[in-house]
Amino acid sequence: MKIALIAHDKKKEDLIRFVTAYKDIFAQHDLFATGTTGKRITEEVSLPVHRFNSGPLGGDQEIGALVARNEMDMVIFFRDPLTAQPHEPDVTALIRLSDVYNVPLATNMGTAEVLVQGLKNGYMAWRNIVENEGEPSGK
């Protein structure tokens, strides 16, 4: 599975701890991340990560493009809901695309844990069917 990992600045430490806790699961999948988040995961957790630009420089949009092409299976995005983000429209677009293309999206640690446990237990196999269809539901 292809998994995108994103975190706003005040949530990066939480994401690093989360990926560290589930390193064995994440190691079995292809990881993608925005700039600084990906760099930290590579350096601190020792997992390979395909890095895009940082979020404010278009990284969220790059991941959104993969979602729109049905080339991303899961997005874990630890958002900071208490801090204004200069690229909030990009964040909103990524969330919208995840809904349009039925890509599981976690915006907090609680939901991310449910998704990762589902991944571990094989509950994400339906994504293989969706990937082969290539169209969002309802179209």
pLDDT tens digit sequence for 43-98: 999 999 999 998 888 899 999 999 999 999 999 999 998 888 877 888 899 999 99
Instruction: Return the SS3 of 51.
Output: strand
pLDDT tens per residue, range 1-43: 999 999 999 999 999 999 999 999 999 999 999 999 999 999 9
| pTM across the whole model | 0.89
Q: Going from the N-terminus, what domains does the chain have, and what CATH number goes with each? A: 2-131 (3.40.50.1380)
Distance CA 37, CA 52 (A): 10
Residue 90: exposure state from Cβ atoms within 10 A (0-12, 13-18, ≥19): buried
Helices 109-120 and 12-21, axial angle in degrees (round to 10):
20
Considering only CA atoms, which of 72, 45, 46, 47 is closest in space to residue 59? 72
Give 57's DSSP letter. Answer: G
Residues annotated as part of the active site: 60
Query: How many other CB atoms are found less than 10 A from the CB of residue 139?
Result: 5
